[in-house]
């Protein structure tokens, strides 16, 4: 493990002490005092990146501005480049104990989970369990006349394209997100969702009021992914975790990816934090399909490698554009898509939970994929992860 010191001054004093006194307990104490006195800029960043080759250096230069921020804790990076795999880890799995992440470290992947829902919908279409354009009410118990607008119903594919018109969150609580207290909001949402049942969800679905024709207006919705989960459970007659296991995790050898917290190896599970370093709760089970999948770099590279193969019918269908245009901004089945500055297709998704941030990107035409998982969440972390991935891509794609 390599340790990087963010201050040449601090490093100079350490070397000087070693020369004059030897690295005794006394000199170590002086070092720790110097580290403390010189302040927050002297962040120590452990890493397994020994910068042996060019890609190692590219990754290091790209990720360092992100991870050296005082709020950041740890990060794992995975790269698939035309058949070659590279993995890197920086920082720690937790604040109160130095433990370098590994390729097996588990993170919440947040809304990248929604791409799994899009993939499962595509798989269900291939399995002839349903049709992409079906009225969702074909798979709901009871009457839901409210889930249409002027005769146009919500279609299945719209649930994973954010064009269904369903609310951001269920139960629909718009006031919760107006001038929120970000210190307490994660705990408020956790309490709301902890005992929120499927029956309550379906009851609240009766109260939804659409204000436009489904399919035309982009409105981000976690509720859409949650509702699709219940529909898939109905057509497969299996609980969601089994559907995920049988259709994605087992075929792709993703043995450490799941939606059940208790199934995680706690020794491998990173702790999540907010930008102030406060420990954050893990996602409540109710949000599993919307953002509650746990995974690691190794498994996520298997998943992204699968999604690079657009000759696969399921992959091609999940990348199908449902709204927008590739020349500007488009949405597939929970994948965001556009042409980058080199006119190559960029397909990506990011995620954020109470204590984790994530980002993954595919370049199918170039056979390149990148994933970044980190155990800190704030309002800019996801966009910063995208910047890191873009820097890496531009270097390795030349």
> Is 334 domain-assigned?
yes
Distance between CA 68 and CA 74 in Å, rounded?
A: 10
> Is 15 domain-assigned?
no
Range of the domain at 272: 107-356
pLDDT, one tens digit per residue, over 257-273 is 999 999 999 999 999 99
Count of C-beta atoms within a 10 Å radius of residue 253: 11
pLDDT, one tens digit per residue, over 70-105 is 999 999 999 999 999 999 999 999 999 999 999 999
> Is 42 domain-assigned?
no
Give the pLDDT score at 33.
Answer: 31
- pLDDT above 90: residue 175: no
The least confident of 33-37, 55-59, 174-178, 385-389 is 33-37
> Is 140 domain-assigned?
yes
> Is 390 domain-assigned?
no
**Total number of domains in the chain:** 1
pLDDT, one tens digit per residue, over 181-220 is 888 889 989 998 988 999 999 999 999 999 999 999 999 9
Which residues touch 79 (CB under 8 Å, ≥6 apart)?
Answer: 55, 59, 85, 86, 87, 368, 369, 370, 392, 396
Burial of 63 (0-12, 13-18, 19+ CB in 10 A): buried
Which residues touch 72 (CB under 8 Å, ≥6 apart)?
Answer: 66, 91, 374, 376
Sign of the alpha-carbon torsion through 123, 171, 349, 59: negative
Residue 32 in tokens: 């720790």
> Is 14 domain-assigned?
no
> Is 20 domain-assigned?
no
Helix (H) or strand (E) holding 122: helix 113-126
Between 390 and 34, residue with greater pLDDT: 390
The pTM (predicted TM-score) of the whole model is 0.89
- pLDDT above 60: residue 293: yes
Provide the β-strand partners of residue 3.
46
Give the pLDDT score at 342.
Answer: 84
pLDDT, one tens digit per residue, over 46-79 is 999 999 999 999 999 999 999 999 999 999 999 9
Phi-psi region of 249 (alpha: psi -120 to 50; beta: other; left: phi over 0): alpha
CATH number of the structural domain spanning residue 175: 3.40.710.10
Only one residue has tokens 């919908």, namely 121
CA-based R_g, the chain, Å = 23
């Amino acid at each position: 493990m390599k340790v990087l010191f963010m201050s040449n001054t601090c490093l100079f004093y350490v070397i000087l002490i070693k020369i004059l006194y030897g690295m005794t307990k006394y000199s170590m104490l002086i070092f720790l005092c110097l580290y403390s006195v010189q302040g927050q800029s002297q962040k120590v960043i452990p890493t397994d990146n020994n910068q042996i080759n060019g890609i190692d250096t590219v990754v290091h230069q790209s990720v360092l501005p992100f991870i050296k921020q005082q709020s950041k804790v740890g990060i794992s990076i995975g790269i698939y480049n035309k058949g070659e795999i590279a993995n890197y880890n920086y920082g720690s799995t937790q604040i109160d104990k130095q433990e370098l992440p590994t390729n097996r470290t588990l993170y919440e992947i947040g809304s990248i989970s929604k791409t799994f829902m899009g993939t499962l919908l595509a798989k269900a279409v291939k399995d002839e369990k349903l049709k992409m354009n079906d009225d969702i009410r074909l798979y709901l118990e009871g009457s839901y006349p409210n889930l249409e607008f002027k005769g146009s119903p919500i279609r299945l594919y719209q649930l994973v394209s954010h064009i269904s018109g369903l609310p951001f969150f269920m139960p629909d609580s718009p006031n919760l997100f107006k001038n929120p207290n970000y210190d307490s909001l994660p705990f408020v949402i956790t309490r709301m969702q902890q005992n929120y049942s499927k029956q309550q969800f379906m009851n609240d679905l009766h109260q939804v009021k659409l204000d436009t024709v489904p399919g035309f207006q982009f409105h981000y919705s976690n509720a859409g992914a949650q509702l699709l989960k219940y529909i898939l459970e109905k057509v497969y007659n299996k609980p969601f975790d089994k559907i995920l296991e049988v259709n994605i995790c087992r075929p792709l050898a993703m043995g450490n990816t799941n939606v059940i917290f208790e199934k995680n190896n706690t020794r491998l599970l990173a702790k999540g934090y907010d930008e102030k370093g406060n420990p954050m709760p893990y996602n409540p089970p109710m949000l599993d399909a919307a953002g509650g999948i746990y995974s690691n770099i190794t498994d996520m590279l298997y998943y992204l490698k699968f999604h690079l193969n657009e000759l696969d019918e399921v992959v091609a269908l999940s990348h199908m554009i449902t709204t927008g245009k590739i020349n500007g901004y488009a949405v597939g089945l929970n994948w965001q898509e556009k042409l980058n500055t080199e006119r190559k297709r960029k397909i990506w998704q990011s995620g954020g939970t109470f204590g984790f941030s994530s980002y993954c990107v595919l370049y199918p035409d170039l056979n390149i994929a990148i994933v970044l998982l980190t155990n800190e969440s704030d309002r800019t972390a996801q966009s910063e992860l995208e910047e890191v991935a873009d820097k890496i891509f531009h270097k390795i794609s030349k």
